[in-house]
Amino acid sequence: MTWPPFLLNALLAGTAIAVAAGLVGYFVVLRAQVFTGDALSHVAFTGALAALALGVDERLGLFAATIGVGIALGALGERGRADDVVVGSVFAWILGLGVFFLTLYTTNNSAGNGNAGINVLFGSIFGLNRSEAVTATIVAAVIAAVVVTIARPLLFASIDGAVAAARGVPVRMLGYGFLALVGAAAAEASQAVGALLLLGMLAAPAGTAQRLTTRPFSALLISAGLAVGEMWAGLALSYTVPALPPSFAILAVATGGYALALLLTRNTHRVRRGWRTERSAKRA
Amino acid sequence: MTLADGPSWNPIIDLQQMWSFPFMVNAFRAGTIVAVLAGVMGHFMVLRRQSFAGHTLSLIGFPGAAGAVLIGVAASYGYFAFCLAGALVIAAMPRAGPGGYSAESAVIATVQSFALACGFLFVALYKGFLNGVNALLFGNFLGISTGQVIVLGVVAAVSLAVLGVIGRPLAFASIDPDVATARNVPVRALSGAFLVLLGAATAEASQITGTLLVFALLVMPAATAQTLTARPARALALTAAIGLVVTWLGLSVAYYTPFPVGFFVTSFAFAGYVAAQAVRHTRPRWRAVSTAGSPSPTGIAR
C-alpha cells in the first residue's frame, strides 16, 4: 500500500504536535490554567486572520499572537497566573478583533475565500504540505525538548510555589516561560485541529493521564503518549471514513478516551473500596 | 453596511436616520434586551468566578444550532436544547472551589472542544450550509425580525424574574458559600438554577450576537462594574448601563462603517474595562473609600 503524501504529512506533523500538546497540556491542567488555554484558542484565531488580512504567513501571526498574549496574560495576574475575569475580558475583545480581521480579509479577497475563517477555526491537517509539516515538526520538537528540560522545577513551582521560591526556584520566570510555551503549543495545535478545538488537544490527554496515575512524571509521559495515539487513531478514522473531518475524528477519539478513563477509574475506586469493606467485614 | 454618507454628528438627526430602517430599530431593541440580560447574568457569573463555565455554555450553542439545521428544525430549538443540557452537565459536576478546579476544568474543556467539534461535523455533513456558519458564530445583528425581538423579550423577562426571586440568596451563596450553607441556604440547588438560567440566557442571546461573541457581553460590563464598586446593587445597575452604552455605541458606529457590530461592541466594552482598571490602580484611596461601606467580598476587589 502506498500512502498518499497528504496523509504522510499529516502523520508527521500530527505526531510531533500531539507530543508537544500532550506535554504542555499536562502542566496546563496541573496548574489550573485551562481557561488560559481556552483564551489562547481565540487568540490563535485572531492572530491567523490578522496575518491573512495583512498578507503575511499565517503561522507568523499565529505564533506572535499566542505567545505574546500568553505572556501578557501572565503579566496581568499575580506570579505569572492570570485571574479568570481578566483573561475573559481580554480574549473576548481579541475575538472581536478577529471578527474585524475576518471582515477585512473577506472583503479584500472577494473570490473564493469565504472558507478562510472556517479553516482557521476548525483546522485542516490534511491540507498541510511537506514544508509546513516539517516546520511544524521542528517547532513541536523544540517545545517538547524545553518542557522536558524544565519539567522538574516547573513541577515543583506548580505544586508548591511558595516552597519552591524559598528553595531558589525562579517561580515567576517559570510562570512566564510556561505561558510562552503554552502559546507556542496552542499555535502548533491550531495547525492540526484549528483554533477553536486546540483546547481539547491540550486538556483531554492531560486530564486522562491525571485520572490514570498520580505520579507526575508517569502522567507526563502518559499524556504525551495518549495524545499521539489519539492523533493517529483520529487521522486513521478520518482517512477511512471521509465524511468525518480529521479535526472532529481526533477530538472524538480524545474525548472517548477521557470518558473511558473517567468511567474505569471510578469503577476501580469502587472496586477497591468494596474490596476493603469486604476484608474489614471478614476481620470483624 | 454603509447606507448613509456619514454621521451628521447631530445625535437626534443621526438616530432618526438610523431608526428609519426597521432592521436598525429591531437591532437596537434586541441589543438593548441582550445587553441587560447578559449584563445581569454576567454580574453573577463574575461574582461566582464562573467565567469558564459561562464561556463553555455560550459555545455549546453552536453545535446545537448546526445540528438543528442539519436535521431540519429551527436553530432556536438547537440552541436551547444544547445550552440547557450543557448547564445541567456542568451543574452536576462537583466544584472544587473558586479557582481550584484542576481536574473538573479539564472535563469542561474537553466537553467544550468536543461540542465544537460536533458542530463542525454537522456543518461538514450539511453541505452548502458553510456560509451560514459565520452567522452562527459571529452573529446576525442586522437581520433580526420583530418576532425574534418578542421571543427574546419574553425569555429575558422570565429569566430576570426568576433571577429576581433567587438573586438575594444567590448573591449570599456566591460570596460566602460556607456561611450560606450554615444558614440553610440551598447552595447547590441555587448554583444549578443559576447555570440553567445562564444557559437559557446565552442560548437566546447568542442567536443575536453569535455564539463566539455573547461571552463578551457577559463578562466585560460585569467585570468593569465590579472593578469600580463592590456594592452589589450599584454594580448591577452599572453593569446594565455599561452593557447598554457599549451595545448602542457599537450598533451606531457599525451602521456608518463597513465593519461588523461585534468588533465595535467588544472594543468599546474592553476600552471601558481598561479605563476602569486604570482608575482603580491610579486612585487606590478612592477605591478604599468607595468600598468602605461594605466588607469586600472575596475576590471582587483585590
CA distance A42 to A196: 7
Q: Please report the pLDDT score of residue A114 as a whole number.
A: 59
Partners of A115 on chain B (C-beta within 8 Å) are 130
Q: Which of B49, B51, B211 to mutate to test the interface with A (most CBs of A within 10 A)?
A: B51
**pLDDT of res. B36:** 93
Q: How many domains does chain B have?
A: 1
In this prediction, residues A229-242 reach a mean pLDDT of: 93
CB pair distance less than 8 Å for B116 and A254: no
Contacts of B266 in chain A (CB under 8 A): 92-93, 95-97, 99
Q: Which residues of chain B have pLDDT under 50?
A: 1-3, 96-101, 287-302
Cell (9 digits) for B289: 473609600
Strand (E) or helix (H) holding B91: helix B75-92
* CATH number of the domain to which B57 belongs: 1.10.3470.10
For the cut 80, the answer to whether the pLDDT of residue A191 exceeds it is yes
Does residue A284 sit at the B interface (CB-CB below 8 Å)?
A: no
Cβ proximity of A41 and A196 under 8 Å = yes
Q: Which residues of B touch A103 (CB under 8 A)?
A: 258-260, 263
Residue B252, domain member (yes or no): no
Is residue A22 within 8 Å of residue A225, measured between CB atoms?
A: yes
| pLDDT tens-place string over residues A85-107 | 888 888 889 988 988 888 888 77
Q: How confident is the model at residue A268 (pLDDT cuts 50, 70, 90)?
A: low
Q: Which of A69, A248, A265, A266 to mutate to test the interface with B (most CBs of B within 10 A)?
A: A248
Interface test with B, best of A40, A93, A190 (most B CBs within 10 A): A93
CB-based contact B109 A92, cutoff 8 Å: no
Name chain B contacts of A84, Cβ cutoff 8 Å.
49, 51-52, 99
Dihedral pair phi/psi, residue B118, rounded to 5°? -60, -45
Nearest to A206 by CA among A25, A37, A40: A25
Q: What are phi and psi of B297, to 5 degrees?
A: -65, 155
pLDDT > 70 fraction of chain A, expressed in percent and rounded: 88
Residue A79 has pLDDT above 80, yes or no: no
Instruction: Give the model's pLDDT for residue B72.
Output: 85
**Pick from A85, A199, A211: CB nearest B109:** A199
A153 or A279, which is more confident?
A: A153
Tell me what the mean pLDDT of segment A30-54 comes to.
88
Looking only at Cα atoms, what is the longest distance across chain A?
80
Percent residues over pLDDT 90 in chain A: 38
Which residue segment(s) compose the domain that A162 sits in? Answer: 5-283
Nearest Cα of chain B lies from the Cα of A169 at a distance, in angstroms, of 23
Residue A114 DSSP SS3: coil
Among chain A residues, the shortest Cα distance to B55 is held by A88
Tell me, what's the pLDDT at A158?
Answer: 87
Indicate yes or no: CB of B52 within 8 angstroms of CB of A197: no
Q: What is the pTM of this model?
A: 0.83
CATH number of residue A182's parent domain: 1.10.3470.10
What is the structure's pLDDT at B98? Answer: 41
Q: What pLDDT, on a 0 to 100 scale, did the predictor assign at position B296? A: 40
Chain A contact present for B201, CB below 8 A = no
What DSSP character marks residue B259?
S
Residue in A30, A122, A254 closest to B120 by CB = A122
- B296 interfacial to chain A (CB closer than 8 Å): no
Tell me if B168 is assigned to some domain.
yes
The least confident of A118-132, A149-163, A247-261 is: A118-132
Question: What number of CA atoms fall less than 13 Å from residue B50's CA on the CB side?
Answer: 26
- pLDDT value at position B285? 53
Mean local confidence (pLDDT), A32-55: 88
Q: Which residue has the cell 485551562?
A: A34
CA distance linking residue A155 with residue A161, whole number of Å = 9
User: What is the number of structural domains in chain A?
Assistant: 1
- Chain pair A-B, CB pairs under 8 angstroms: 183
C-alpha cell at B270: 474592553
pLDDT score of A140: 94
Per DSSP, the three-state class of A194 is coil
Domain holding B90, by residue range, is 15-214
pLDDT value of residue A55: 85
Residue of A nearest to B97 (CA): A32
Task: State the CB neighbour count (10 A cutoff) for residue B285.
Answer: 7
Lowest-confidence segment of A66-80, A233-247, B154-168, B231-245 by average pLDDT:
A66-80
Task: Please tell me which of the candidates A32, A85, A202 has its beta carbon nearest to residue B51.
Answer: A85
Taking a contact as any Cβ pair under 8 Å apart, which residues of chain B between 243 and 262 contact chain A? 258-260, 262
Q: In angstroms, what separates the C-alpha of A284 from chain B's closest C-alpha?
A: 34
Instruction: Name the closest residue on chain B to residue A41, using Cα atoms.
Output: B113
Contact criterion met (CB < 8 Å) for B269 and A42? no
B224 located within any domain: no
